[in-house]
Structure 1
Amino acid sequence: MARQGMKLHQPEHCLALAENGLSRIHGKVDTQTEALFAITHAHGLAKTGKRRSAIQEVERARAYLAAEQGDEMPFWALAWGPATATVHSRTAKVFETLGDRRGAAEQYAIATASRSPGTYARIVALDLVAQAEMQAAQGGVEQACATWGRAMDAMDGVHSVRTRKAVMVMRRSLTPFRARGLRCAQDLDERAIDFLNG
């Protein structure tokens, strides 16, 4: 529920939900699953402006990932793929919320590399889109275009409202670069039009 609230940009109740969830599962699940709860808590802390606590909670989630795994993860905890990939993706969102675009881009890249693109194509594509947005925001337009191109590759065969929306946002982001005649932006826009018309 905390994650859904953050996706809907309703953070005011998310922190309490994340804290409650984390306190209820502490010591009752494997460390990988506990890492997922900790990183959700970190995101809630970041969304409510608690920067230092958010960074500490990111470190706690990483420590859980690095700990001996113990029991197998429950099936419901694997909904977004391997715990490592999910924690890195959520860490990227924490960094993005805190304004650390470089750190966010790095975490999105690690998350992408930690998932099987064939099995998690939509999630991989969305992480690549988010990584490209961070790269573009830092002024790395050509690098962002390359990452957006990889996202378009991952979207091949994916039919999703979120991927379509991501492509439309990408096109808007590329507008000033197309206007300047940047070739990679023009090529990517053509791919985006084909994707949206497909």
Structure 2
Amino acid sequence: MEVLRLIGEADIHRRRLLTNTAYSVAAAGLPLGIERAIPGQRREGSGGFHAGRSEIEAVREMTRLFTRIDERHGGQHGRAAVVQYLTTDVVRLCRASFSRESDRAAMLGAAAEVAYLCGWKAYDAGEHGLAQRYQLQAYELTREAGDEAHQAFVLRILAHNGMDVRRPEHTLDLADAALARVRGRVGPTAEALFAVTRARALANAGRSAEAARQLRAAQDLVLRGEEAELPHWAALWGSARACVSSHAAKTVRGMGDHVAAERHYAAAARSRPGPEYQRITALTLAAQGGEQAAMGHLEQACGTWGRALELLEGVRSARAVDAVDGMRRALAPLRGRGARVAEELEERARAWRAAHA
């Protein structure tokens, strides 16, 4: 708890020693025992007060609220508030006494959800080293809680983080370990989230045939299951089918298949029709437009990018900035040829970029 509190305070006060820390390949392997084991959290004594189910549900409800804001408006909205909540209320509740050990474990699991939400917000700001540190602390909380499925979910998060920052050294091992812990122990919808992570990691490792088989297994799992069966720590992040489609797109893109990637991105965007997931839908559309452009369908790409820009209004996210910058780079050759649709989109993108500098 003390390490988590110190990380959070450094984040709130923007101490550069931590916020500028780079992503660490060595740290990514810690949960696997590749490096020296992470020092376990010391079981802390009572904070002098009692907590129970109502406090656990309050933390979960606050996490759902903060997550909804994050998904709709981007990770930089309410970031300080979430970190402050973690370092004060949540840390204090984890130090309380509980009538049942199962309640204490549930509180630690709820704290892990807040910790990796803080990590997600750091990731969305492009602070990948800080994000990784939050994720590792979340892993420690789930380990102390003794919840293997939740531990596996954090391993899955760590695997995706490594792939997203193009440091895949431990990502397949993380994905393997995560899937092994949940296979046959969670419902098919939840298992699909782990299976598609392994598929993506296999594709990144150049093992395309295995990746294709694992992807088909993930798609079969998610079709057989029900969204309502998801554990609360997975349901926080919305539709499992949308998530599987999005990571399926990244998997096949890693295998060089732009046609299939475009199709999967389109399916992911359709699976999130409402405003609740405004940021991720916009980023999905931006990626879909990139696949359309890669296939030479430039007018179609401009239309898709235009929809993405509409959804990005008011979103504060470094990933959104990167997506818009990517659009503009792809548009540059078209502007030179006087393509009107490209010039109009560039004008919109430039205005968005100026407003979100």
Same fold, judged at TM 0.5 (above): yes
Deviations 1:87-143 (A, max 9, x none): 000000001000000100000000000013411111001111111111101100001
Contact 2:187 2:225 in 1 (8 A): no
Kindly provide the amino acid, as one letter, of the partner of residue 130 in structure 1.
A
Number of aligned residue pairs: give it. Answer: 198
Q: 2:62 is matched with which residue?
A: none
Pair 1:70–1:155, CA change in 2 (3 A): closer
Question: What's the secondary structure of 1:119's corresponding residue?
Answer: helix
- State the secondary structure of the residue aligned to 2:237: coil
Residues in 2 aligned to 1:38 and 1:157: alpha-carbon distance in whole angstroms: 34
Cα distance change of structure 1 residues 164 and 117 upon mapping to structure 2, 3 Å threshold: farther
For residue 159 of structure 1, what is the amino acid of its counterpart? R
Quote the offset at 1:12 in angstroms.
Answer: 2.0
Structure 2 partner of 1:72: 229
2:11 equivalent in structure 1: none
1:185 to 330, 334, 342: 342
Listed one character per residue, the Cα deviations across residues 124-172 of structure 1 (whole Å, up to 9, x for unaligned) are 0111111111110110000100010011111122111110111112111
Give yes or no for contact 1:117–1:154 (8 Å, CA) kept in 2.
Answer: no
* CA displacement at 1:57 relative to structure 2: 0.5
Relative distance call for 1:30 and 1:174 in structure 2 (3 A) is same
Matched-pair contact (CA < 8 Å) for 2:227–2:240: no
Paired residue for 1:145, among 283, 289, 302? 302
Query: Identity of counterpart residues, as a percentage?
Result: 43
Q: 1:154 — aligned with what?
A: 311
Give the 3 Å change call, closer, same or farther, for CA 117–163 of structure 1 in structure 2: farther
Do 2:192 and 2:218's aligned partners in 1 also have CA atoms closer than 8 Å?
yes
Conserved 8 A contact 1:34-1:64: yes
Give the match for residue 59 of structure 1: 216
How far residue 79 of structure 1 moved from its aligned partner, in angstroms, is 4.1
Residue equivalent to 1:18:
175
**Structure showing greater Rg:** 2
Q: Which segment is superposed worse, 117-126 or 63-72? A: 63-72
**Corresponding residue for residue 33 of structure 1:** 190
Is structure 2 residue 250 aligned with structure 1 residue 93? yes
More off after superposition, 162-171 vs 73-82: 73-82
Shift of 1:195: 0.7
Shifted more, 95-104 versus 150-159: the winner is 150-159
2:307 matches 1:163:
no
Structure 1 Cα separation of the partners of residues 320 and 247 of structure 2: 18
Mean Cα deviation higher: 59-68 or 172-181: 59-68
Root mean square deviation of aligned Cα: 1.3
**Is the 8 Å Cα contact of residues 179 and 198 (structure 2) preserved in structure 1?**
yes
Task: Give the stretch that moved more between structures: 63-72 or 174-183.
Answer: 63-72
How far apart in 2 are the matches of 1:66 and 1:170?
Answer: 33
Tell me, yes or no, if the aligned pair for 1:174 and 1:189 is still in contact at 8 Å: yes
**Separation in structure 1 between the aligned mates of residue 234 and residue 241 of structure 2, nearest angstrom:** 12
Unpaired runs of 5+ residues, structure 1, are none
**CA separation in 2, counterparts of 1:103 and 1:57?**
16
Q: Which AA in structure 2 matches 1:191?
A: R
Contact between 1:135 and 1:144, CA under 8 Å: does it hold in 2?
yes
* Contact 2:242/2:271 (<8 A) preserved: yes
Mapped to 2, the partners of 1:117 and 1:131 lie a distance apart of: 18
Contact in 1 for aligned 2:182/2:191 (Cα 8 Å): yes
Give the TM-score normalised by structure 2.
Answer: 0.54
The change in CA–CA distance for 1:187 and 1:45 in structure 2 (over 3 A counts) is same
Distance of 1:109 and 1:128 partners within structure 2: 7
Structure-2 residue corresponding to 1:84: 241
Residues 1:195 and 1:117: Cα distance change in structure 2 (over 3 Å): farther
SS of the residue aligned with 2:229?
A: coil
